[in-house]
Amino acid sequence: MWVNWVKVYLIRKNSFWMIKENTQIGSWMWKKILKYRDLAKRMCKVEVKNGKKTSFWFESWSSMGCLKDILSSGSHIDMGILASATVEESWKHRRRTHRVVILNRVEEEIEKSRSKRSEEEDVSLWLNGKGQTKKVFSSKETWEFIREKHQNCYWHEAVWFKHSTPKYSFILWMAMKGRLATGDRMIAWDGNINVSCVLCKEPLEILEHLFFGCIYSAQIWEVLMRGILREQFTLNWEEIKRMMVDRRRDKMHMFLIRYMVQATVYMIWRERNRRRHGDAEAPAALLIKLLNKNMRNKLTLIQRGGNNKMGEEMQYWFATR
C-alpha cells in the first residue's frame, strides 16, 4: 500500500532516479531513501524484456552499467533521447553515428536490447556480495554487502548469544563500548546538565560507577549473583566483563552469568532514565524481584522449547537464592 502511495503522490510521472534529493515533498524516511539511491544503484540491475518500466539513463540495464554515471550531462541531447525516457522509448529512436566513441557503444547496446525484446515485464535483479544476481531481494545479503566489516571483538559472544534478549543485548553492547550517555559523557554536550548519579547522588556518574560501584546497583547485583559467583563475586565492571568470556566455566554457569548481566544492566539503565525524566523511584528490592522473575521466566521458556537441561539450571538458580 505504501509503495503504491509513493508512486502516485511522490514519484508521480517522474522517474524515481530523477527526483532531486533536496525535494520538499515527502517524509523524513522518503528523503533518506532518496539520499541512499547511489548506494542502492550498485546493487540493482534490470533484465530488460519489454523495456516499459526501465529508465534508459538511470538504471543499470546494459553491460555498460548506469549510463548517467559514465556519460556527460549533455549526452541525452547528443543521443536524441530524453532524460526521462524508458528503454522501450529508446528503441524508437533512429540509430546515429557519433564522433564520441562511447556514444556509438550506447547505440550498440540499444540494438542488442531491441533484438531481445519480448512482451514480458522487465525483471529487477539484486546483486549480493558474491557478485551474484537474484530475482528475490534479501535484506540479510544486502546488509552483508554494504556494511563495514571489522574483526569480532573479544566480548561479542557475551552480548549476542543463544537465548539472549535483543533489547537487553543492545543496551549491554552500548555499555561494553562505553557509549551509554552517562553523566561524564553528557557534560561534554551541555556544561549545565546535572551529571550526578540519580540512583545514589554520587557527584559524577560514570559507567564504572553505574555498574556496579553505585550503592543501589551494587545491592541488586550482590543479591542476584553472590550465590552463583561465590568467592569470585565482584562489583568491578572490568572484572565482570572478563568473567563473561571466561571459557573455563561450564555452559550452565556461563548462561546464567551472561543473561543476568545483560538483564541487570538493562533494568538499571531503564530505572536511571526513568528517574532522570521525573518518574517515581523504584526501590532496589523491586528490581531484584523483577530480575529474579525474569530469569525464571526465561529458563521456563527455553525448557518448554525442548531444552531439558534448563530444568537443572532452574534448580541451580533456586538453590542460590
Question: Counting Cβ atoms within 10 Å, is residue 64 exposed (0-12), middle (13-18) or buried (19+)?
Answer: middle
Mean pLDDT of 240-256: 92
Q: pTM higher than 0.75 for the full model?
A: no
- Taking 90 as the threshold, does the pLDDT of residue 12 lie above it? no
Q: What is the mean pLDDT of the chain?
A: 92
| Cβ atoms within 10 Å, residue 197 | 23
- Taking 90 as the threshold, does the pLDDT of residue 240 lie above it? yes
Q: What is the pLDDT of residues 300-311, one digit of tens each?
A: 999 988 887 778
pLDDT bracket for residue 206 (50, 70, 90): very high
Q: What percent of the chain has pLDDT over 70?
A: 100
pLDDT bracket for residue 202 (50, 70, 90): very high
Which residues, other chains included, contact 71 with Cβ-Cβ below 8 Å and sequence gap of 6+? Answer: 102, 103, 106
pLDDT bracket for residue 140 (50, 70, 90): confident
Mean pLDDT of 203-209: 97
pLDDT at 227: 95
- Taking 90 as the threshold, does the pLDDT of residue 281 lie above it? yes
Mean pLDDT of 88-116: 93
Q: What is the pLDDT of residues 160-198, one digit of tens each?
A: 999 999 999 999 999 999 999 999 999 988 878 999 999
Pull the grid cell for residue 237. Answer: 565492571
Mean pLDDT of 2-8: 86
Residue for cell digits 543496551?
Answer: 171
pLDDT at 39: 86
Q: What is the pLDDT of residues 83-98, one digit of tens each?
A: 889 999 999 988 989 9
Which residues, other chains included, contact 93 with Cβ-Cβ below 8 Å and sequence gap of 6+? Answer: 79, 80, 81, 110
d(CA 86, CA 114): 12
Q: What percent of the chain has pLDDT over 90?
A: 65
